[in-house]
Amino acid sequence: MDETARWLTPEEQHAWRSFVRLHERLGGRLSRLLQSESNISAADFAVLVHLTDVPEGRQRFQDLARALEWEKSRMSHHIARMAKRGLVVRQECPEDGRGAFVVITDAGREAIEAAAPLHVKAVRDLFLDHVTPSELRVLADVSERVVGKLDEDLS
């Protein structure tokens, strides 16, 4: 046992466990809703959202994996499954023989366009309607600060 561990105080432990429980339950509920209402998984949705946020709907395979915090093998298998369903295609990179791009297809755009309104409604119903504007600002500030530190640690 590490004697230098900084154990969580009861207040810290309560906050952390509450956050984890929120993340698990909210993620699970949103995932089930996406699957049942749109026939795409939460992972599909995450990939498609990232691809619609970048120019030309294409992103380097490794950059997409990094953005989603996915291992290379998970990314490879998931993109292969999405490609079989026609949601994305994999394009080799002409400048770099080892690199590849993931590109959203028209079917992928149709899928995300159909799923997005349902997802936004669920986010509002399950989360946003239950927090105040000031709580939302605090949550955004905390999230950005922690993500910034995580990104900094990757450098």
Residue 36 binned pLDDT confidence (cut-offs 50, 70, 90): very high
Task: Give 38-51 pLDDT, tens digit per residue.
Answer: 999 999 999 999 99
pLDDT value of residue 137: 97
SS3 103: strand
Indicate the pTM of the whole model. Answer: 0.87
Give the list of residues 6+ apart from residue 66 with CB closer than 8 angstroms, or none.
Answer: none
Domains and CATH numbers, the chain: 23-154 (1.10.10.10)
Residue 71 pLDDT greater than 70, yes or no: yes
Residue 97 pLDDT greater than 70, yes or no: no
Phi, psi of 132 (to 5 degrees): -85, 165
Residue the block writes with tokens 């791009």: 101
Average pLDDT, the chain: 93
